[in-house]
Amino acid sequence: MAHRFLSSTNRFSARFAFIFTVSLSCTYLCYSILFCRSTVMTNRGYEGRRCPPSKNAGGKKLLGKLDNCASLEVRSALDGSAAPRGYSDLRNIKATASSGSHSDDMKLRNMSVAQKYGNKKLPNALIVGVKKGGTRAVLEFIRIHPDVRALGTEPHFFDRNYDRGLDWYRGLMPRTLDSQITLEKTPSYFVTREAPRRICSMSHETKLIVVVRNPVTRAISDYTQTLSKKPDIPTFEELAFKNKSEGLVDSSWNAIRIGMYILHLENWLQYFRLSQMHFVSGERLITDPAGEMGRVQDFLGLKRIITDKHFYFNRTKGFPCLKKPESSSQPRCLGKSKGRTHVQIEREVIEQLQEFYRPFNIKFFETVGQDFKWD
């Protein structure tokens, strides 16, 4: 009886072991099939959705809050493939972009990535003045740098639209990556009494660019622009002088007052250090655009990518233009309103105005530590 019981038990154990082994084998086989299929699909079409832990901590510094999935898509957009690359590689690419088509290509890539993954931020730097000094040229020239994103229009936030609030102002800005500078230009800021205080309240570390020009030439250019819009205005001499025969200049006329740079600068220096301000020579911007833009890039902490290879002199307009990038069929010159012929002013009038501006110019040169040689 005992022998029969033991025999039955052994058969049951063997049967159980066989069933367990078969079940385990089937489970392993199914798992292997599913795993292989998942791997094949991932390799072929789903690389952009896999989020392996990033091995490069530098990625966080470049794109900030982007997660690993977004980081992989950014690298794919830049490289043209889904092959994983660290953001240090992106920085190396940008470091080697020196001029010509390479920097143009890098600019387009950075713009594309910024538009998709960037954030709208308050500007790091402002071109605050001066009107008819060359601010549009500086904006257009610096915009070709891959690390700069600039607002093309003048928002006039700190002089006309301040009551709309910083959120409205931020909403106007282009999207930028953390590694890029956000920039805007409004030349009237320099002569607006409230602008320095308002900008300082936004950020006391804002970098400020001021484009200055011989104040006499600037006033004539200002008048020429106004005359093109209002042909019935009085003559330049009538507006510039209270009494021409006595040489009494009317400093209340805005075209004259803007050129009294030192008076406006003293207001800015109540809120900003002189080291936060960079003064561009409007004259040198025409004769040596690469040199002036090199100093602007240094001031903004950018690599000198914009060089003399980017410019050619347009004799018709009388100022430099950007050479044709590979992505465009035309060179980039400033608009038709730039380079217009100035109205003819009597030599005596010019000399009287030079004499009027001389003490203001001298003090301005001493304050900024530069001689712009306007005499």
Known binding positions for 3'-phosphoadenylyl sulfate: 132-136, 213, 221, 338-342
Distance of alpha carbon 54 from alpha carbon 247, whole angstroms: 72
- Judge whether 132 counts as a catalytic residue: yes
The active-site residue, picked from 132, 230, 323, 373, is 132
Place of tokens 């043209």: 80
Distance of alpha carbon 37 from alpha carbon 22, whole angstroms: 23
Distance of alpha carbon 135 from alpha carbon 140, whole angstroms: 9
Distance of alpha carbon 218 from alpha carbon 372, whole angstroms: 14
What beta strand segments (E) does the chain contain?
Answer: 119-120, 125-129, 148-150, 175-176, 181-185, 207-212, 241-243, 248-249, 277-281, 311-314, 319-322
Distance of alpha carbon 372 from alpha carbon 212, whole angstroms: 9
For residue 130, cis peptide bond before it (omega within 30 degrees of 0): yes
Distance of alpha carbon 298 from alpha carbon 111, whole angstroms: 22
Main-chain phi, psi angles of 346, to 5 degrees: -60, 145
Beta-bridged to residue 125, according to DSSP, are 183, 207
Binding residues: 132-136, 213, 221, 338-342
- Catalytic residues, which ones? 132
